[in-house]
Amino acid sequence: MRWQALKREAAAMRAVLEREPYDEARTEFDREYVRRLRARHGGELQAMSERLGLAPVALAAALNGPGSRKEPSHGDQAGRGVHDSPQ
């Protein structure tokens, strides 16, 4: 069972890395990264935000796709965006 899960995970990452153009690949990578982080944190947006130092709205946008205006369910709106560099 574990082997099958690892195989599916590898195939999903391969699809992300083979995606073109770059902007689409980056968006898909961000979405997958945040999706996995959400799984590790039990879907707790505030914990994810604090762990990454990103605004909850930036995390919600990464999960919901580019141009998304969907607001997170709770948490602070301040912070860096997904593509911003640390200061």
18-46 tens-digit pLDDT: 999 999 999 999 888 888 888 888 888 88
Class of residue 30 by CB neighbours under 10 A (exposed 0-12, middle 13-18, buried 19+): buried
55-81 tens-digit pLDDT: 988 888 888 875 554 544 443 333 344
pLDDT for 14 equals 92
pLDDT for 44 equals 85
Helix axes 56-64, 22-40, angle to 10 degrees: 120
Is the entire prediction scored with pTM above 0.95?
A: no
Residue with token string 């689409």: 24
User: In order of start, what are the domains of the chain with their CATH numbers?
Assistant: 2-64 (1.10.10)
